[in-house]
Structure 1
Amino acid sequence: MTLASDLAGLPARAQTAPYVGDFSRFRIVPARYPARTIGTIFAALVIFAVLNSVFSNPRWGWDVFAEWFFSEPVLAGLGRTLLLTLAGTALGFLFGTLLALARVSGSPLLASLSFAYVWLFRSVPLIVLLLILNNLGYLYSTVWLGVPFTDITFATWSTTQLITPFFAAVLGLTLHAAAFSSEIVRGGILSVDQGQHEAAAALGLPQRRQFTRIVLPQAMRTILPNGFNEIISLTKGTSQVYILALPELFYTIQIIYRRNLEVIPLLMVATVWYLVILSVLSFVQHHIERHYSRGALRNPPASALTQAFAWLRRHVPAGRAPGGEQVALAPSPSAAATRPGGEIRIGGVSKSFGPLTVLDNVSLTLRSGSVTAIIGQSGSGKSTLLRAINHLERADQGFITIDGALIGYRQDGDTLYELKEREILKRRVDIGMVFQNFNLFPHLTAIENIVEAPVSVRGIPRVHALAEARNLLARVGLADKAGAYPRQLSGGQQQRVAIARALALKPKVLLFDEPTSALDPELVNEVLDVIKELARSGTTLVIVTHEIGFAREVADEVVFMEAGRIVESGPPARVLDTPDHPRTREFLAKVL
Structure 2
Amino acid sequence: MNTTTLAPPNVAIEQAPAAPAPAPASRRRDYASLRIVPARYPARTVGTIISLVLMGAVLNSVLGNPRWGWPVFAEWFFAEPVLVGLGRTLVLTALGAALGFTLGTGLALARVSRSPLLRALAWTFVWIFRSIPLIVLLLILNNLGYLYETVWLGVPFTNITWAEWSTTQLVTPFLAAVIGLTLNQAAYSSEIIRGGILSVDQGQHEAAAALGLPRRHQAFRIVLPQAMRSILPSAFNDIIGLAKGTSNAYILALPELFYTIQIIYRRNLEVIPLLMVATVWYLIILSVLSIIQAQVERHYARGALRQLPPTLLGRAWAWLRPAPVPSVDAAPAAADEPPARAAAWTHSHSRGGQVEVQAVSKSYNGVRVLNHVSLHVPSGSVTVILGQSGSGKSTLLRSINHLERVDSGFIAIDGELVGYRQEGDTLYELKEKDILSRRADVGMVFQNFNLFPHLSVLDNVAEAPVSVRGLPRAEAQALARELLARVGLAHKADAFPRQLSGGQQQRVAIARALALKPKVLLFDEPTSALDPELVNEVLDVIKELARTGTTLLIVTHEIGFAREVADHVVFMDQGRIIESGHPDKVLQQPDQPRLREFLAKVL
TM-score (norm 2): 0.87
Is the Cα–Cα contact under 8 Å of residues 335 and 468 in structure 1 kept in the other structure? no
Deviation per residue, 1:33-88 (Å, 9 max, x gap): 44333222211111111111111111111111111111111111111111111111
Distance 1:457 1:137 in 2: 50
Q: Does 1:514 align with 2:525?
A: yes
Partner of 2:340: none
Task: Letter of the 1:289 partner, please give it.
Answer: E
Q: Does 1:166 align with 2:177?
A: no
Unaligned runs of 5+ residues in structure 2 are 1-27, 317-344
Partner of 1:118: 126
Task: Give 1:445 deviation, angstroms.
Answer: 1.2
Q: Does 1:95 align with 2:106?
A: no
Is the Cα–Cα contact under 8 Å of residues 449 and 505 in structure 2 kept in the other structure? yes
Task: Give 1:306 deviation, angstroms.
Answer: 8.8
Is the Cα–Cα contact under 8 Å of residues 342 and 508 in structure 1 kept in the other structure? yes
Query: Which of residues 65, 68, 83 in structure 2 aligns to 1:57?
Result: 65
Task: Give 1:446 deviation, angstroms.
Answer: 1.0
Distance 1:279 1:355 in 2: 56
Partner of 1:104: 112
Query: Which of residues 546, 560, 564 in structure 2 aligns to 1:553?
Result: 564
Deviation per residue, 1:117-157 (Å, 9 max, x gap): 11121121111111111122222333333333333333333
Is the Cα–Cα contact under 8 Å of residues 348 and 548 in structure 2 kept in the other structure? no
Task: Give 1:591 deviation, angstroms.
Answer: 1.2
Superposition pairs for residues 15-414 of structure 1, below 5 Å? Answer: 33-303=41-311, 336=347, 338-414=349-425
Deviation per residue, 1:397-418 (Å, 9 max, x gap): 1111111112311111111111
Classify the secondary structure of the residue corresponding to 2:578: strand
Distance 1:36 1:463 in 2: 53
Identity of paired residues, percent?
Answer: 75
Is the Cα–Cα contact under 8 Å of residues 502 and 530 in structure 2 kept in the other structure? yes
Task: Give 1:305 deviation, angstroms.
Answer: 7.3
Deviation per residue, 1:419-477 (Å, 9 max, x gap): 11111111111111100000011111111111111122112222222222222112111
Deviation per residue, 1:296-341 (Å, 9 max, x gap): 1112244367999xxxxxxxxxxxxxxxxxxxxxxxxx97252111
Is the Cα–Cα contact under 8 Å of residues 303 and 455 in structure 2 kept in the other structure? yes
Distance 1:182 1:584 in 2: 53
Classify the secondary structure of the residue corresponding to 2:390: coil
Is the Cα–Cα contact under 8 Å of residues 451 and 466 in structure 1 kept in the other structure? yes
Is the Cα–Cα contact under 8 Å of residues 430 and 505 in structure 1 kept in the other structure? yes
Query: Which of residues 443, 467, 482 in structure 2 aligns to 1:456?
Result: 467
Classify the secondary structure of the residue corresponding to 2:468: helix
- Residues 292/338 of structure 1: CA separation in 2 closer, same or farther (3 Å cut): same
Query: Which of residues 435, 445, 453 in structure 2 aligns to 1:442?
Result: 453
Unaligned runs of 5+ residues in structure 1 are 1-21, 309-333
Distance 2:583 2:291 in 1: 62
- Residues 282/359 of structure 1: CA separation in 2 closer, same or farther (3 Å cut): same
Is the Cα–Cα contact under 8 Å of residues 443 and 520 in structure 2 kept in the other structure? yes
Distance 1:517 1:488 in 2: 20
Partner of 2:5: none
Distance 1:28 1:338 in 2: 61
**Cα RMSD between the aligned structures?**
2.1
Distance 2:30 2:211 in 1: 57
Distance 1:335 1:125 in 2: 67
Task: Letter of the 2:565 partner, please give it.
Answer: V
- Residues 47/307 of structure 1: CA separation in 2 closer, same or farther (3 Å cut): closer
Partner of 1:316: none
Task: Letter of the 1:586 partner, please give it.
Answer: E
Query: Which of residues 564, 584, 591 in structure 2 aligns to 1:580?
Result: 591
Distance 1:527 1:306 in 2: 39
Is the Cα–Cα contact under 8 Å of residues 242 and 248 in structure 1 kept in the other structure? yes
Distance 2:411 2:401 in 1: 9
Partner of 1:468: 479
Distance 2:489 2:137 in 1: 59
Deviation per residue, 1:233-255 (Å, 9 max, x gap): 01100001101101000000000
Superposition pairs for residues 484-523 of structure 1, below 5 Å? Answer: 484-523=495-534
Classify the secondary structure of the residue corresponding to 1:458: coil
Task: Letter of the 2:448 partner, please give it.
Answer: N
Task: Give 1:491 deviation, angstroms.
Answer: 0.2
Task: Letter of the 2:190 partner, please give it.
Answer: S
Classify the secondary structure of the residue corresponding to 2:388: coil
